[in-house]
Structure 1
Amino acid sequence: MGNRILVTRSSMPPMEEYFEEVAPLWESHWLTNMGVEHKKLEADLKERLGIDNLALFTNGHNALECILEAMALPTGGEVITTPFTFASTTHAIVRKGLTPVFADVNPVNLTLDPESIERLITPRTCAIVPVHVYGNLCDVDTIQEIADRHGLKVIYDAAHAFGVERVNEDGSSDSAASFGDAAMFSFHATKVFNTIEGGCVCFKNEDLYPLLNQWKNFGITGPEDVEYVGGNAKMNEFCAAMGVCNLRHLDAEIGKRKTVAERYWDNLEGTAGVTVFRPAKNIRHNYAYLPVLFDPSVFGATRDDVFDALDKAGVGARKYFYPLVNDYACYRSVYSSDRTPVAKKAASQVITLPMYADLALEDVDRISNIVLGCAR
């Protein structure tokens, strides 16, 4: 890769720590099918997130598909969601025989706008799948009030939000895992917390635990019984062990990421035509991404101009999320991004800058100077 700065870099524990964690596998030869490391990680995550029910998966996408299946939502039912997300969110809805309905986002943190949700509810609506974009929490209380009033399930795509907490007035806190009927997390290698590949679902109804484990194991319900047409989505022991190790270092990693994020914000905030996203004061953030919006009519350069300048200087950035899901080739014959104008504008202006725990502050300054040098 030379001296190129990548948009992200995976966090890893010390090599010796991981080797020590996986060494017993050479004695047991139990490499998958919910072994010791799998059980250890489930327990550690429940303690960390402050929740009672959690199931591990091979990745966040399979986790989302399985919770949608386990909720027994009606075939063809409408699910209100956001177009400002990764493909996985919408694909999971469609692959489960449901119909996505795209609400717009709010301009403050680019999460689902509750007023837009309310306007789209019909007798066919069965669920809401909001996304905590970039680790920014949705308006969870208003969304829950809407869902309760209309009898809808709420399943959060919390792929970006591991470790994020809302601090309440009494000093207590609620993790992103605690909102809605369920919340899916991704543990992909690029996430703040990773298991190399992996994911989980946290959920309120404890009766879902055996059902989710059956769905992720071919629908097998007993030694001689297969009741569902399930798939194979079991996390293996090596991935679980990576999670056990990485979880021990999570607070230190988030602390480093916070330092990087604050340096970016200090460098860029206040520049005409540039929007950054500092967390709300009552949020303990994970600093998963460093999104920036560029308004070309004020900044004097487009998002693409900035992207190209960074690329020319050997800096990786990402247009995340662009294009909108409702502009994908597989969806645009049915949907129009013109119906979600706030999301469409954000998609045309957004870049995520390099962000990882060990990114040197002098590199942050260099990246910031390249960005600011694009202004006209």
Structure 2
Amino acid sequence: MIKVTQAFLPNQSEYQAILKSSWDQHWITNRGPLVLELEAKLLSYLNANQIILTTNGTLPLQVALKVLGGMGEIITTPFSYIATTSAILWENCKPVFVDIHPDYLTIDETKIEAAITNKTKAILVTHVFGNPCDVEAIQAIAHKHNLKVIYDAAHCFGVTYKNESIFNFGDVSTCSFHATKLFHTGEGGALFFSDKALYESLFYSHNFGHNGPHDFSGVGINAKMSELQAAMGLAVLPYMNQILEQRKTIVDFYNNNIDFSKVRTFTIRENAQWNYSYYPIIFKSEADLLKAESVLNKAQIFPRRYFYPSLNTVPFASTQSMPVSEEIAASVLCLPLYAGLTADETKLIVTILNDAL
């Protein structure tokens, strides 16, 4: 069986060696030494400004919305994982969808201003498959209308734009360190931000509102990363160059061997250094996608319809039509891509796919 992705796992003894200090100290949560070490190493590796690690990748969205969203309207993309829209609704905000660009697959920044009202509090958009939004245009719109910007950067570990970490753009960027991601801590995530004035409100919000052992700055939740998760991150991080090299090899093979007369892929934004996080192919129709998917599945190859469906069609968030997002969501399929996928497996995927087109 060839799955769409597979978690990279370091040698188990390496993980256990890192975790030993927590065992010895009986300290496995509440921002122990391993969490602090991982935060410092990630800031250095990513050239990011500030970080708070979290126990998953959805809670950072909720914390950012709680701090910056203010129970108002949030302009967002319909082409993302459900967590993006669910977090908006969970925080008693209203998602206002704006359609996407057909090539970049990120929000169409030229349509954002038309969606702004006097109830708009923030823009929360997704860097899709690691492909950055037009961060400069979005920042200009936000500045003009006095709005906050939150990026769902779940797929963006290691991505840069004009040689700057993508996590340094916007008021807050969130990331997922789920086991299926490029870099992972099993489950996990992070808040990234540049404004030091935001640190206390974000930090307190992710730790029950604690402002010291017996004082509380306000309402908070428990979003802290554990030492068990941090140990996994510390064990995975040294392998990042190897992981990226293997994924690039697979991407290059796909780029050079898929029959692009029948399908297309997306366009990486100019001045962006991509991270080879996903490989989406876009069919001419949903029928063509379903045919190819069926043939691949019969060969025990399991790509994924990602993202599907377009979030503006989900019943609890249903809104006006978003024709580009709906068309892309119906016709996009992510091919298997992970460190450990062999050359023979990659050739098999392409051979079967091309035969099915």
TM-score normalized by the length of structure 2: 0.96
Q: 1:116 aligns with which of 90, 100, 111?
A: 111
TM alignment of 1:133-212, pairs within 5 A = 133-166=128-161, 168=162, 173-212=163-202
Letter of the aligned partner of 2:325 in structure 1?
A
Q: Contact (CA 8 Å) 1:269, 1:276: kept in 2 or not? A: no
Check 1:11–1:278 CA distance in 2 against 1; reply closer, same or farther (3 A cut). farther
State the alpha-carbon separation in 1 of the partners of residues 290 and 259 from structure 2: 20
State the alpha-carbon separation in 2 of the partners of residues 269 and 213 from structure 1: 49
**What corresponds to 2:60 in structure 1?**
63
Q: Contact (CA 8 Å) 1:268, 1:276: kept in 2 or not? A: no
Which 10-residue stretch deviates more, 343-352 or 214-223?
214-223
Letter of the aligned partner of 1:331 in structure 2?
A
Task: Give the match's secondary structure for 2:316.
Answer: coil
Aligned-residue offset at 1:152: 0.9
Q: Contact (CA 8 Å) 2:104, 2:267: kept in 1 or not? A: no
State the alpha-carbon separation in 2 of the partners of residues 224 and 17 from structure 1: 37
Q: CA RMSD in A?
A: 1.5
1:344 and 2:326 are equivalent in the alignment: yes
Letter of the aligned partner of 1:79 in structure 2?
I
Aligned-residue offset at 1:79: 0.8
Report Cα offsets for 1:19-76 as digits up to 9, x if no partner. Answer: 21111122111000000000001111111221231111111100111111122x332x
Q: 1:94 aligns with which of 49, 67, 89?
A: 89
1:364 and 2:354 are equivalent in the alignment: no
1:249 and 2:239 are equivalent in the alignment: yes
State the alpha-carbon separation in 2 of the partners of residues 115 and 279 from structure 1: 18
**What corresponds to 1:325 in structure 2?**
311
Letter of the aligned partner of 1:29 in structure 2?
H
1:289 and 2:278 are equivalent in the alignment: yes
Aligned-residue offset at 1:278: 5.4
Letter of the aligned partner of 1:239 in structure 2?
Q
Q: Contact (CA 8 Å) 1:12, 1:246: kept in 2 or not? A: yes
Aligned-residue offset at 1:164: 0.7
Q: 2:296 aligns with which of 296, 300, 310?
A: 310
Runs ≥4 residues deviating over 4 A: none
1:130 and 2:125 are equivalent in the alignment: yes
Aligned-residue offset at 1:281: 5.9
Identity of aligned residues (%): 40
State the alpha-carbon separation in 2 of the partners of residues 194 and 223 from structure 1: 30
Report Cα offsets for 1:119-154 as digits up to 9, x if no partner. Answer: 111111111111010001111111111111111111
Letter of the aligned partner of 1:220 in structure 2?
H
Check 1:125–1:17 CA distance in 2 against 1; reply closer, same or farther (3 A cut). same
Aligned-residue offset at 1:205: 1.7
TM alignment of 1:217-296, pairs within 5 A = 217-268=207-258, 270-272=260-262, 274-277=263-266, 279-280=268-269, 282-296=271-285
Q: Contact (CA 8 Å) 2:49, 2:168: kept in 1 or not? A: no
Q: Contact (CA 8 Å) 2:304, 2:333: kept in 1 or not? A: yes
State the alpha-carbon separation in 2 of the partners of residues 276 and 48 from structure 1: 29
Which 10-residue stretch deviates more, 203-212 or 189-198?
203-212
State the alpha-carbon separation in 1 of the partners of residues 185 and 271 from structure 2: 28
- Give the number of aligned pairs: 357
Unaligned runs of at least 5 residues, structure 1: none
State the alpha-carbon separation in 1 of the partners of residues 341 and 96 from structure 2: 38
State the alpha-carbon separation in 1 of the partners of residues 258 and 184 from structure 2: 29
Q: 2:20 aligns with which of 23, 48, 65?
A: 23
Aligned-residue offset at 1:308: 1.2
Report Cα offsets for 1:206-258 as digits up to 9, x if no partner. Answer: 13223222212222223323343322111100100111121111122111101
Check 1:95–1:127 CA distance in 2 against 1; reply closer, same or farther (3 A cut). same
Task: Give the match's secondary structure for 1:133.
Answer: coil
Unaligned runs of at least 5 residues, structure 2: none
Task: Give the match's secondary structure for 2:112.
Answer: helix
Task: Give the match's secondary structure for 1:24.
Answer: helix
Check 1:289–1:231 CA distance in 2 against 1; reply closer, same or farther (3 A cut). same
Aligned-residue offset at 1:374: 1.7
**What corresponds to 1:355 in structure 2?**
337
TM-score normalized by the length of structure 1: 0.91
State the alpha-carbon separation in 2 of the partners of residues 144 and 213 from structure 1: 24
Aligned-residue offset at 1:296: 3.4
